[in-house]
Structure 1
Amino acid sequence: MAGRDRVVHLLTQLASAACRCPAHSNSFHQGVGAATCSVRKTDYAFEMASSNIRYGDGVTKEISMDLQNLGARNVCLMTDRNLSRLPPVASVLESLSRSGVTYKVYDNVRVEPTDASFKDAIRFAKSEAFDVFVAVGGGSVMDTCKAANLYASHPDAHFLDFVNAPIGRGKPVTGALKPLIAVPTTAGTGSETTGVAIFDFEPLKAKTGIASRAIRPTLGIVDPRHTLSMPERVAANSGFDVLCHALESYTALPYHQRSPCPPDPLQRPAYQGSNPISDVWSRHALAVVAKFLKRAVRDPEDVEARSSMHLASVFAGIGFGNAGVHLCHGMSYPIAGNVKTHSAKGYSVEHPLVPHGLSVVLTSPAVFTFTAPMCPERHLEAAQILGADTRQVKRADAGAVLADALRDFLFSLQVEDGLAAVGYGTGDIPALVRGTVPQERVTKLSPREHTEEDLSRLFEASMKLY
C-alpha cells in the first residue's frame, strides 16, 4: 500500500504542476477561460494537414468527373499567359469541355505575384458567382488562385486582413471557401499540398503571404506529363525549391520548442516546426532530389526523372507544409523582391526576375553552416543523402560538410555564383536584411536564434558561392 500511496502522491504533484492546456488537463470542464496555456510556454502537439493528392500519368482527364461530383456549375480556371498556350492547360480545358460545365479563364497571373496582381485576380474572382476554382500552373498560379478564392469567399474583407503579421493583420480564416483543384505544372513549390500563398508586397519590396489551412486546395492532381514541358532552368530552379523545402523543414526548430503554446487548436500555425511525421516526408524528398534532379534538368525526355521530381515536390510540400521552412526562405523574399535587372533564363516574362527556387538556394551553404551547431546529426544526414562521405566527420564540422555538398551540387547544375551574379553587392545588404526581418513567420523556425548582424553576415557569405 505504501508504494501505491507514493504513486498517488506523485501523480497529484504532477497534476498540480501540469500545463492547463485542454489536452493536458480536465480544464475543458472549467469554462472557456481555462483554455489558456498558463504554465507551458512552448507547444506540446503538432497536427498533420494536407490536400488530397491524386497522382498518375494522364490523370488530368479525371478533372471533368471531379467537377461533376462537386456539382460545379460555374468554374474559374486560373493560369498564366505562357501556360495558356501549352499542353497542360489544353488538357484541362478539354476535360472541362467534356464535363459540360460553364467556365471562364483568367490567364493574367504574374510569375512571382505581387499584391497588385493578387488584387487583379481577386477582382476577377468576385466578378461572377464561381462555385469551383481550378489552378493550372506553378506556385505563382496556385497561390494566386488560393488568394482569389479566399477573398471572393470573404467579399467584405480588407486585403491585409489575412496577410501574415507584421505586414498584415494575420486574422484567422473562419468562413468556408469554395473547392479548389490544383494542377501543378512544375516540380517545385508543393503549393498543391499547402495552405500558403506567397506574393511580393511592393510597398516594402519584400515577400509576404497568407498562411491558413483553410486555403489549401481540396485536391491536387499531379500528372507527370505536365512537367515534360518545363524548360531546363525552370526544372532546375523548381528543383532547388524542393531541395530547400526538404532541408529547411528537416532542420527546423522542433515543434515542442516553438512558442507560444496556442490557447486554441485553431490558433496553432500551419508551420509548426520539425516533427516526426514531417521528417519522414522531408527526408524522402531529399533522397529523391539527390537521385533525380540532375537527370531531370539535363534531359527533359527523362520521364522517370521528371515524374520522380514531381512526386518529390509533393513529398516536400507535405513535409514543409506542416513543419515550415526557415532562413533560406526568409532571406529569399527580399532577394526576389529587390531584384534590379537580372533576367532569368528560361522564363517568358517581361520584368526582372530572380526565380523563387534560385533566390532560396543561393543562401543555402551559408545558412546551413550557421544552423548546424543546433542539430549537427541532421545536417550530417542531409550531407550524406546528397553524396558526402560523412563516416569520419566530426559533429562540429557538420555545417561545413553540408555546405560543401550543396556547393558541389549547385555547381554541377550551373547555378549562378552567388548573389553578386544576380545583381547584388555588399551595399545592398542593409536592404536585404530589412526585407528579411518581417519574415518572422518562417525565420522564427530557425533552430538557431539570430540577430540582424547574423543576417548581414549570411548575406555577405552568400555573395559568392564557389
Structure 2
Amino acid sequence: MSVPEVSLTEETIFTWGAPPLKFGAGAVDEIGFEMAGYRARRVLIVTDSGVHALGAPQRIADSLRRYKIESEIFDGVHVEPTDDSMNKAVEYARAQGDWDGFVAVGGGSSIDTAKAINLLTSCPGELMDYVNKPVGEARTPEGQLKPLIAVPTTAGTGSESTAMCVLDILSMRVKTGISHWRLRPTLAVIDPLLTMSLPPQVTAASGMDIVCHAVESYTARYYTAFDRKKPEERVTYCGSNPVSDLWCERAMQLLAHSFRAAVHEGADNLEARSDMMMAATFAGMGFGNSGVHIPHANAYPIAGMVRDYVPEGYPPAEPMVPHGQSVSLTAPEAFRFSFSSAPQRHLRAASLLDPDADKHNDEREQLPSVLVRLMRDIDIPNGIGGVGYTEADVPDLVPGTMKQQRLLATCPKMPTEDDIADILTGSIQNW
C-alpha cells in the first residue's frame, strides 16, 4: 500500500514528551532504588543552601548510599539562576571529575541549574553556545545526557517535566533559556511532603507560575497554524495541541480546588499541597510541549531589570522579582490582548479556574477578572508598579520582551512593540 504524496501548506505534526513520574508522600526515599536502575555509581546532588538546611538532600544521599552509590551535595545554586551562577556550578561539577548521574532537589532554580550542569558536563562547549537565539547561539546537544532525577520542593515551575532551563544573562539584563528535548529529566520524583513548610508568599508566587503555564499553553497558537517545517526545524514549543490541552485543563481544575487553601492553610493541608504539586507537573507536561507566550516573555525583563524590590519569604534578602510573580503581573492585560484570537479558549480557561465566577457582559474581561481576584486573594503585588516599575520604565522593558521571540512566536496574536508597550502600561496596576 503506497502512501499518497500531498502538498501541505500548514503543520500537520505535533510532538509531546514528558519524563516518567513517581508521585506520592515518601517518594523521595526511593531515589537510591531509581538511580541504581541506571547503574550509576557516582552522583552529584544539586540544590541550594536553604533546601540543604532543611535536610532533603541528605535524605537523598542516604537513599543513594543504601544502593552503594557515592554522592556529593552541591548547594551553591542561586535562587533565580544567572549565567554567572550556572557557570560556577558547571565549573564545580567539571572540577570534581566524571559523574554517572545527577539529582536536582529544590525549586526550578535547582532543577534548571542541574540541567545546565548535565548538558555542559556531557557535551562540549560553554553556556552561551546553547542559550536560545538571539541572545546565544542555540547549539543543539550532540548526544544523550546523563540520567537526571528531578525532585521539586516547590509547586510551580514544572521544570521536572520540561525540556528547558531558564537563567538571567547579567551583562544584558535579560532572562532567557536553553531549550532542547535532551534537557528533560530522566525521572520526576514528586513528594508533596517536601512542600509542607513553604511560606505563603512562596506558595503564592510559585502557584501563579502554574496558572500562567496552564493558561498560556491552553491559549497558545494551535499547532496547525504554524508553517509546515522540516523535522530538523521543529522547536520544543510546537503550539497548543490535543495532548497538552488535556494536562492544562486538569491543572486548572486542581488550581481552582486547592490554590487558595495551599496558600492560607499550607502547613496543615496535605491534600491542597498534593493537588498543587500535581498541578505544577501537569501544567509542565502541557506548556513544556505547547509553549507559553506574552506573560512569560514580559516576565524576563521584569525580573532582569529589577532595582529595589525585595520579596517576602525568599532568602537571601536581595532585590529580585520571583519568577512566579513576574509572569503573573502582566497576565490580565496580556489575555485581554490575545482574547480575540481564541475567545472560546479564554472563556474555558476562566471557567476552569473559577467555575463560580460571575460572568461579565464583556466576555474579554472574564479571564482577566478571574486572575485579578485570585491574585488579590493570595497577596500578589498589584501589577508591575507593585515591584517598583513606573510608566517611565516601559520603553526600557519592551526590548527585553521583544528578544523573547521563541515565546512570542507561540502567541496566537503576534504582538508588535507598541502592543507590548500597551500591555506593560496597562499592567502598572491591575486593580
Name the amino acid aligned to 2:334.
Answer: V
The CA distance in 1 between the partners of 2:16 and 2:317, in whole Å, is 39
Tell me by how many angstroms 1:64 deviates. Answer: 0.9
Match of 1:306 among 251, 270, 273: 273
Q: Which entry has the higher C-alpha Rg, 1 or 2?
A: 1
Give SS of 1:99's match: coil
Tell me the residue number matched to 1:332: 299
Tell me by how many angstroms 1:389 deviates. Answer: 5.8
Tell me by how many angstroms 1:267 deviates. Answer: 3.3
Q: What CA RMSD, in Å, does the superposition of the two structures yield over aligned residues? A: 1.7
1:319 equivalent to 2:278? Answer: no
Mapping of 1:115-130 within 5 angstroms? Answer: 115-127=83-95, 128-130=97-99
1:355 equivalent to 2:312? Answer: no
1:70 equivalent to 2:38? Answer: yes
Q: Are the aligned partners of 1:380 and 1:390 in contact in 2 as well (CA < 8 Å)?
A: no
Tell me the residue number matched to 1:286: 252
> TM-score, with normalisation over the residues of structure 1?
0.89
After superposition, what is the alpha-carbon deviation per residue over 1:111-170, rounded to whole angstroms, capped at 9, x for unaligned? 00001111111112212111101100010000000001001111x313222111111111
1:202 equivalent to 2:170? Answer: yes
Unpaired runs of 5+ in structure 1? 1-10, 20-39
Unpaired runs of 5+ in structure 2? none
Tell me the residue number matched to 1:454: 419
Tell me the residue number matched to 2:7: 18
Show structure 1 runs of 4+ deviating over 6 A: none
The CA distance in 2 between the partners of 1:73 and 1:116, in whole Å, is 29
After superposition, what is the alpha-carbon deviation per residue over 1:321-357, rounded to whole angstroms, capped at 9, x for unaligned? 1100000000001000011111110011242111000
Name the amino acid aligned to 2:7.
Answer: A
Tell me by how many angstroms 1:403 deviates. Answer: 0.8
Q: Are the aligned partners of 2:201 and 2:312 in contact in 1 as well (CA < 8 Å)?
A: yes
The CA distance in 1 between the partners of 2:360 and 2:342, in whole Å, is 14
Q: Are the aligned partners of 1:388 and 1:401 in contact in 2 as well (CA < 8 Å)?
A: no
Tell me the residue number matched to 2:373: 408
Tell me by how many angstroms 1:208 deviates. Answer: 0.6
Match of 1:88 among 56, 81, 86: 56
Tell me the residue number matched to 1:193: 161
Tell me by how many angstroms 1:229 deviates. Answer: 2.0
Give SS of 1:197's match: strand
The CA distance in 1 between the partners of 2:261 and 2:169, in whole Å, is 35
Q: Are the aligned partners of 2:254 and 2:279 in contact in 1 as well (CA < 8 Å)?
A: yes
Name the amino acid aligned to 2:120.
Answer: Y
Tell me by how many angstroms 1:45 deviates. Answer: 0.6
Name the amino acid aligned to 1:357.
Answer: G
Tell me the residue number matched to 1:135: 104
The CA distance in 2 between the partners of 1:465 and 1:308, in whole Å, is 27
Tell me the residue number matched to 1:381: 348
Give SS of 1:457's match: helix
The CA distance in 2 between the partners of 1:181 and 1:392, in whole Å, is 43
Tell me by how many angstroms 1:416 deviates. Answer: 1.2
Match of 2:192 among 224, 231, 236: 224
Name the amino acid aligned to 2:389.
Answer: Y
The CA distance in 2 between the partners of 1:215 and 1:402, in whole Å, is 33
Q: Are the aligned partners of 1:112 and 1:356 in contact in 2 as well (CA < 8 Å)?
A: yes
After superposition, what is the alpha-carbon deviation per residue over 1:376-421, rounded to whole angstroms, capped at 9, x for unaligned? 1111111122326689766xx3321211111111111111111111
Name the amino acid aligned to 1:246.
Answer: A
Give SS of 2:118's match: helix
> TM-score, with normalisation over the residues of structure 2?
0.96
Name the amino acid aligned to 1:317.
Answer: G
Tell me by how many angstroms 1:87 deviates. Answer: 3.5
Tell me by how many angstroms 1:90 deviates. Answer: 3.2
After superposition, what is the alpha-carbon deviation per residue over 1:274-322, rounded to whole angstroms, capped at 9, x for unaligned? 0011001001101111110000000121100011100000100000011
